[in-house]
């Protein structure tokens, strides 16, 4: 749910970023529509942002788009990395 510049600076390894602003614009945003078409709607989707507000809204939008297993990750990138062991990539 993080914006592209935030995701570019630091991100959890192996993540696919769908910014909340673009998810709200789907299907008008072709790049976002392509990303969503790539995802299996029956597999888990983990949603996070830096503070939590965007992630909550994004999780609701994913559910409304037919994703059946949406999981909201609490905390920001650093908290999630610390708690899960996922690595952070930086540019």
pLDDT in tens, 13-34: 888 888 999 888 877 878 888 8
Is 56:72 a contact under the CB 8 Å cutoff? yes
Tell which wins on pLDDT, 78 or 32: 32
Report pLDDT for 85. Answer: 80
Tell which wins on pLDDT, 82 or 69: 69
Q: What is the mean pLDDT of residues 72-78?
A: 81
Taking phi over 0 as left and psi of -120 to 50 as alpha, with beta for the rest, 17 belongs to beta
Report pLDDT for 77. Answer: 78
Handedness of CA 28, 29, 31, 35 (dihedral sign): negative
Question: Which pTM value belongs to this model?
Answer: 0.80
Q: What is the mean pLDDT of residues 50-77?
A: 88
């Amino acid at each position: 749910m993080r914006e592209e510049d935030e995701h570019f600076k630091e991100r959890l390894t192996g993540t696919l970023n769908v910014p909340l602003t673009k998810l709200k614009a789907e299907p008008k945003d072709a790049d976002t529509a392509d990303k969503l078409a790539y995802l299996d709607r029956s597999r888990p989707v983990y949603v996070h942002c830096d503070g939590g507000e965007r992630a909550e809204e994004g999780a609701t939008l994913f559910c409304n788009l037919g994703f059946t297993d949406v999981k909201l990750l609490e905390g920001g990138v650093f908290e999630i990395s610390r708690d899960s062991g996922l690595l952070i990539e930086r540019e």
